[in-house]
Structure 1
Amino acid sequence: MQQKHEKKLDRRQIRTKGRIRDAFTALIMEKNIEKITIKELAQRADIDRKTFYLHYKSIFDVLTEIQDEFLGCVGQMVEECELLTSSFDALPLFRKINDLLNQNPAFYHRLAVSDQYGFFHDKLKACMKAFFNEKYSEHLAVSSVSPVKLNLYSEYVASGITALYVEWLKHPEFDLEEVAEAASEISYGGGRAVIDSILNPTNR
Structure 2
Amino acid sequence: MDKQIADRRIRKTKKLLRDTLFELMNENSIDNITVKDLTERADLNRGTFYLHYRDIFDLLEQNETEILEEMRKLLVKINPSAFIEYNSINKPYPPLVDLFQWFKDNLSFGKALMGSNGGISFLEKIKNIVEKEFYKNQYKIQKKDNTPIFSEYYYSYIIFGFLGLIKQWFKNDASTPPKEMALILMKISLNGI
TM-score (norm 2): 0.74
Partner of residue 62 from structure 2, selected from 40, 60, 65: 65
How far apart in 2 are the matches of 1:18 and 1:24? 10
Q: For each residue in 1:2-32, what CA deviation from the matched residue of structure 2 results, as whole angstroms up to 9, or x when unmatched? A: xxxxxxx922321221221122123223322
Partner of residue 17 from structure 2, selected from 9, 16, 20: 20
Aligned residue for 1:154? 155
Q: Which has the higher contact order (CA 8 A, sep 6+)?
A: 2
Aligned residue for 2:172? 171
1:51 Cα deviation after fit: 2.7
1:50-199 aligned at under 5 Å gives the runs: 50-84=47-81, 87=85, 91-114=93-116, 116-131=118-133, 132-145=135-148, 150-172=151-173, 175-176=176-177, 177-189=179-191
What SS does structure 1 have at the residue aligned with 2:173?
A: coil
How far apart in 1 are the matches of 2:13 and 2:56? 15
What SS does structure 2 have at the residue aligned with 1:129?
A: helix
What SS does structure 2 have at the residue aligned with 1:30?
A: coil
One-letter amino acid of the counterpart of residue 164, structure 1: L
One-letter amino acid of the counterpart of residue 57, structure 2: F
User: Which ranges of structure 2 fall in alignment gaps of 5 or more residues?
Assistant: 1-5
User: Which ranges of structure 1 fall in alignment gaps of 5 or more residues?
Assistant: 1-8, 191-204
What SS does structure 1 have at the residue aligned with 2:119?
A: helix
Q: For each residue in 1:104-140, what CA deviation from the matched residue of structure 2 results, as whole angstroms up to 9, or x when unmatched? A: 4244234444065333323222221111212432452
Residues 26 and 50 of structure 1: is their aligned pair in 2 closer, same or farther, counting only changes over 3 Å?
same
Aligned residue for 2:33? 36
Does structure 2 retain, via aligned residues, the 8 Å contact 1:125–1:158?
yes
What SS does structure 1 have at the residue aligned with 2:154?
A: helix
RMSD: 3.0
Residues 91 and 169 of structure 1: is their aligned pair in 2 closer, same or farther, counting only changes over 3 Å?
same
Aligned residue for 1:201? none
What SS does structure 1 have at the residue aligned with 2:147?
A: coil
Does structure 2 retain, via aligned residues, the 8 Å contact 1:125–1:159?
yes
1:37 Cα deviation after fit: 0.8
1:183 Cα deviation after fit: 0.8
TM-score (norm 1): 0.71
Does structure 1 retain, via aligned residues, the 8 Å contact 2:25–2:117?
no
One-letter amino acid of the counterpart of residue 151, structure 1: E
Residues 113 and 22 of structure 1: is their aligned pair in 2 closer, same or farther, counting only changes over 3 Å?
closer
One-letter amino acid of the counterpart of residue 119, structure 1: S
Residues 83 and 26 of structure 1: is their aligned pair in 2 closer, same or farther, counting only changes over 3 Å?
closer
What SS does structure 2 have at the residue aligned with 1:102?
A: helix
What SS does structure 2 have at the residue aligned with 1:10?
A: helix
